[in-house]
A and B are shown apart, each in its own frame.
Chain A
Amino acid sequence: MLSRIAESMFWIGRYVERAEDTARILDVQTQRILEDAATDEETACRSLLAVMGTDLSPSEKAGLSQLLDRLAYDTTSPTSMAFALGAAREAARGARETLSVPLWEALNTTYRAIPAGQFKHMRAPFIFGWVRDRVAQINGTADATMMRDESWQFLMLGRYVERADMTSRLVATTSLTSTGGASQWNSTLRACGAYDAFLRVNKGVETEQAAAEFLLLDRIFPRSVVHALQRAEGALDTLEGTTRRAGFSDEAHRLIGRMRASLEYRPLHDLLADLPAEMERLQVTCAEATEAVTKRYFAGAEALAWQSVRGA
């Protein structure tokens, strides 16, 4: 397939996932800021924005409304859901002849809520649910209508690299603001739709440690970091197409595999000792893997000015 189209598919995967994950993170964090009297609004908003890769200048007021602007509504802010949905649609527009018609329409109708003004009139937390629903429709339509060919693999690769990155941010925000112990991990689990599953797995015992382990390392929970990395590896494997007797020829594959091994083979307490730094390392790996994929598969196409939050 054309390199340019492959690149578009990869970024459709990333942006769509980013919109959903941002909605999930905002849902939990805004609720916490509103409900928890012990949380200082200004500090909480600043640290959340920093984790999401965007900074307010110290002179700017940082409140809930600025937070929602930057991460939800502002179409010019590269960290916002509005921006991600617009960018996904823009990428889809350039790859339109290769997308199934229903998939294109799902992306297009979602995007159209933004210029039509409907998007900015939806309030929190309603808008978080709306974005999750739309993304579910986009992903479901892709699942039901796309050939499992190369373009599918690039879509999956983009989705899972982004998911690993975003789940790591969700974990980082939790550990960063974690003053109230297990209850904050509970809301993070809820944001991932994982709370019930977590309780079932852990027979109802809630501990911070168990929650972090679940979100980071569970192999069969679809939003965990390790699961996302596994799926990204799977996509790279299929794209590479040859069975090697030793090692991997693909730099992105090596980077992601090494990261996953380092998460999985270290003692949990070691991992949890400095969670924010660990998560940052993961995010850097995702950025480097993206670079490697770009070099190998998309380099044919001229460097596109993809707006990327953290140089990915």
Chain B
Amino acid sequence: MSQMFDAYETRDPAYDEMFAGGGLRPAYQRLGDSLGRLSASELSSRVEAMQASYLDQGVTFDIGGEERAFPLDIVPRVIERDAWATIDKGVQQRVKALELFLADVYDEGKVFEDGVIPREVITTSSHYHRAAAGVHPANGVRIQVSGIDLIRDNAGEFRVLEDNVRVPSGVSYVMTNRRAISAALPETIAEHRIRPVANYPQKLLAALRAAAPAGVADPTVVVLTPGIYNGAYFEHALLARTMGVELVEGRDLVCRNGQVLMRTTKGLAPVHVIYRRIDDDFLDPVHFRPDSMLGCVGLIDAARMGNVTLANAVGNGVADDKLVYTYMPDIIRYYLAEDPVIRNVDTWRMGEASSREEVLDRLDELVLKPVDGSGGKGIVIGPAASARELDVLREKIMEAPRSWIAQPVVQLSTVPTFIDGHLGARHVDLRPFAVNDGEKVWVLPGGLTRVALAEGELIVNSSRGGGSKDTWVLAGPTSSRRVNRNQSQSQSQSQSQSQSQGVV
């Protein structure tokens, strides 16, 4: 390897996914060798080409009305086969448990009677919708698409940070990132065996078709978007295009006699499955926000009558409530009689007096999260907050303890990231996407790695200036290296030893 990694410093105590004690971890051996053959200026020019191509293709997202290229770091993240096998199993388990939980919550509520979770936790959640009670999805699936956010703790163990089973976004970037990195690092990608991500739309389409109302042999599936000014519009358009279905807006739909129809040049045409990318609150002004222009009057009634399937189902938000999250290990044991494959991050509920007292004493050491926030909104990181901010926080917690949870400051793992011509350690998380067609929960091998681009920053959301990385799940074992010309070259240079001393 060249001097590329010489000045790289890991951020103790965070787990660095590429380097351990100065040497490359096995999964990153080839990537390190391959990138090491490029100079920083070569890498920079490839980054420029990559960004230009994202702008031309319109792979963008909106920040305050301005369109920007979706930020993609040129250094991929590698996940070895065995680690992925655990994630795959753990995510499947999680989604299955969440499905059973939702079915129960909106039906008999056995989970309350058996004392696993207090009923108030659900009924006080702002995402609990009575409109969803008693609705039985055609194939029993409520979570067609999920994004279970994972982090890697200081020991390198994957942990669940939060569950997203409403309208998780980001999967389009998984697909476009792979294509962009293939173009930017063709030599490197050729040296790896990476599991493909391009078949996601077909898996999604199959799951959506499987969810069609009973008796519809050849269902019409559509994607429902809030429109071109939505931050994730690029994704909505990409999914519609790659599934070969219509992308509709609320104004394209009309409900007549409990049927959903779309306005076409040849009149009204029936719609059977709506992959909706609009939050519950905006779906139907009759049941939810009366001022919403994004949805369509009558949608919820049509869904309740079983004439149209909304994917994901209405009311799923109770399952990704951050307070419910704290009960997930028990929920998994209750429904599946298994221990969680992937553990939660340690969490205290502020609604419980004893935990609250303990946490209020140590506010400056902990992370406090509002239970119904998303996109990193409202999170207070104790060690980074001023005394005044902590006082404000303390008051807020006392006012509405149910609205807060506390977690230790988890040092998200780091991966080398190319910024301003240098490689620096930046914190990452991982959002694997899972598709449930009712037969099997399929986990897309890869997922979206989000990276906090500022040094030391722990919040990775793109709305907060986060970037992304292409995520490579290796298809083969990593321990035994195949001998090839690249290996002999890198060994003859035998620079891995000398460069490793530059790494702390």
A297 and B237 within 8 A (CB): no
Q: A96-B237, A97-B240, A301-B263 are in contact. Are A4 and B56 (CB under 8 A)?
A: no
Instruction: Give the interface segment out of B35-43, B246-254, B350-358.
Output: B246-254
By CB atoms of chain A within 10 A, which of B58, B252, B265, B268 has the most?
Answer: B265
The minimal Cβ–Cβ distance linking A72 to chain B, given in whole angstroms, is 23
B56 and A105 within 8 A (CB): yes
A94 and B227 within 8 A (CB): yes
A1 and B264 within 8 A (CB): yes
Q: How far is the CA of A109 from the CA of B57 in the complex (A)?
A: 8
Instruction: Tell me if A3 counts as interface (CB < 8 A to partner B).
Output: yes
Inter-chain contact total with CB atoms closer than 8 Å:
64
Q: How far is the CA of A300 from the CA of B253 in the complex (A)?
A: 9
Considering only residues 112-169 of chain B, those with a C-beta below 8 Å from chain A are none
The minimal Cβ–Cβ distance linking A153 to chain B, given in whole angstroms, is 10
Considering only residues 174-227 of chain B, those with a C-beta below 8 Å from chain A are 223, 227
Q: How far is the CA of A247 from the CA of B72 in the complex (A)?
A: 59
Considering only residues 276-290 of chain A, those with a C-beta below 8 Å from chain B are none
How many residues of chain A have a CB within 8 Å of chain B? Answer: 25
Q: How far is the CA of A27 from the CA of B298 in the complex (A)?
A: 54
Considering only residues 90-149 of chain A, those with a C-beta below 8 Å from chain B are 90, 93-94, 96-98, 101, 104-105, 108-109, 112
By CB atoms of chain B within 10 A, which of A4, A93, A96, A97 has the most?
Answer: A97
Instruction: Tell me if B55 counts as interface (CB < 8 A to partner A).
Output: yes
Instruction: Tell me if A6 counts as interface (CB < 8 A to partner B).
Output: yes
Q: How far is the CA of A2 from the CA of B238 in the complex (A)?
A: 17
> Across the interface, which residues of A come within 8 angstroms of B56, CB to CB?
105, 108-109, 112
B264 and A3 within 8 A (CB): yes
Q: How far is the CA of A2 from the CA of B252 in the complex (A)?
A: 7
A300 and B55 within 8 A (CB): no
Q: How far is the CA of A93 from the CA of B267 in the complex (A)?
A: 24
Q: How far is the CA of A150 from the CA of B264 in the complex (A)?
A: 11
> Across the interface, which residues of B come within 8 angstroms of A5, CB to CB?
246
> Across the interface, which residues of B come within 8 angstroms of A1, CB to CB?
264-265
0 or 1 for each of B258-286: is its CB under 8 Å from A? (1 = yes): 00001111011000000000000000000
Q: How far is the CA of A90 from the CA of B233 in the complex (A)?
A: 13
A297 and B265 within 8 A (CB): yes
Taking a contact as CB atoms closer than 8 A, the residue among B241, B251, B267 that contacts A4 in the complex is: B251
A4 and B55 within 8 A (CB): no
Q: How far is the CA of A90 from the CA of B227 in the complex (A)?
A: 12
Q: How far is the CA of A2 from the CA of B245 in the complex (A)?
A: 11
A112 and B55 within 8 A (CB): yes
A97 and B247 within 8 A (CB): yes
Instruction: Tell me if B228 counts as interface (CB < 8 A to partner A).
Output: yes
Interface size band for B: 20 to 34
> Across the interface, which residues of B come within 8 angstroms of A93, CB to CB?
58, 228, 233
B58 and A108 within 8 A (CB): yes
Taking a contact as CB atoms closer than 8 A, the residue among B57, B241, B246 that contacts A2 in the complex is: B246
> Across the interface, which residues of A come within 8 angstroms of B57, CB to CB?
101, 105, 108
Instruction: Tell me if A302 counts as interface (CB < 8 A to partner B).
Output: yes
Q: How far is the CA of A105 from the CA of B246 in the complex (A)?
A: 20
B251 and A301 within 8 A (CB): yes
A3 and B237 within 8 A (CB): no
B263 and A3 within 8 A (CB): yes
> Across the interface, which residues of B come within 8 angstroms of A109, CB to CB?
56
B241 and A96 within 8 A (CB): yes
Q: How far is the CA of A6 from the CA of B262 in the complex (A)?
A: 13
B265 and A3 within 8 A (CB): yes
By CB atoms of chain B within 10 A, which of A96, A98, A104, A298 has the most?
Answer: A96
A150 and B228 within 8 A (CB): no
Query: A151 — nearest CB in chain B belongs to which residue?
Result: B265
B58 and A2 within 8 A (CB): no
Considering only residues 1-57 of chain A, those with a C-beta below 8 Å from chain B are 1-6
Q: A2-B246, A150-B265 are in contact. Are A97 and B241 (CB under 8 A)?
A: yes
Q: How far is the CA of A5 from the CA of B241 in the complex (A)?
A: 13
Q: How far is the CA of A187 from the CA of B160 in the complex (A)?
A: 71
A300 and B58 within 8 A (CB): no
The minimal Cβ–Cβ distance linking B199 to chain A, given in whole angstroms, is 18
A2 and B55 within 8 A (CB): no
The minimal Cβ–Cβ distance linking A85 to chain B, given in whole angstroms, is 15
> Across the interface, which residues of B come within 8 angstroms of A2, CB to CB?
246, 248, 252, 262-265
The minimal Cβ–Cβ distance linking A295 to chain B, given in whole angstroms, is 12
> Across the interface, which residues of A come within 8 angstroms of B238, CB to CB?
97
Q: A3-B265, A300-B263 are in contact. Are A104 and B228 (CB under 8 A)?
A: no
The minimal Cβ–Cβ distance linking B47 to chain A, given in whole angstroms, is 18
The minimal Cβ–Cβ distance linking B223 to chain A, given in whole angstroms, is 8
The minimal Cβ–Cβ distance linking A241 to chain B, given in whole angstroms, is 9
The minimal Cβ–Cβ distance linking B27 to chain A, given in whole angstroms, is 34
Q: How far is the CA of A302 from the CA of B248 in the complex (A)?
A: 13
> Across the interface, which residues of B come within 8 angstroms of A300, CB to CB?
252, 263-265, 267-268
Taking a contact as CB atoms closer than 8 A, the residue among B237, B241, B251, B267 that contacts A302 in the complex is: B251
The minimal Cβ–Cβ distance linking A94 to chain B, given in whole angstroms, is 5
The minimal Cβ–Cβ distance linking A88 to chain B, given in whole angstroms, is 14
Query: A96 — nearest CB in chain B belongs to which residue?
Result: B237
Query: A115 — nearest CB in chain B belongs to which residue?
Result: B67
A97 and B252 within 8 A (CB): no
A3 and B252 within 8 A (CB): yes
Q: How far is the CA of A297 from the CA of B263 in the complex (A)?
A: 10
The minimal Cβ–Cβ distance linking B204 to chain A, given in whole angstroms, is 14
B249 and A4 within 8 A (CB): yes
B263 and A104 within 8 A (CB): no
The minimal Cβ–Cβ distance linking B502 to chain A, given in whole angstroms, is 39
By CB atoms of chain B within 10 A, which of A1, A90, A300 has the most?
Answer: A300
Q: A97-B240, A302-B251 are in contact. Are A4 and B58 (CB under 8 A)?
A: no
Between-chain CB contacts (< 8 Å), 24 pairs: A1-B265, A2-B263, A2-B265, A3-B252, A3-B263, A3-B264, A4-B248, A4-B249, A4-B251, A4-B252, A4-B263, A93-B228, A93-B233, A96-B58, A96-B237, A96-B241, A97-B237, A97-B247, A105-B56, A105-B57, A108-B57, A297-B265, A300-B263, A301-B263
Known: A93-B58, A300-B267. 9 other contacts (CB 8 A): A1-B264, A2-B264, A3-B252, A3-B264, A90-B228, A97-B246, A112-B56, A300-B263, A302-B251
Pairs A-B, 8 closest by C-beta atoms: A300-B263, A97-B241, A97-B240, A96-B237, A97-B247, A97-B237, A3-B263, A297-B265
Residues of B within 8 A of A (CB): 55-58, 223, 227-228, 233, 237-238, 240-241, 246-249, 251-252, 262-265, 267-268
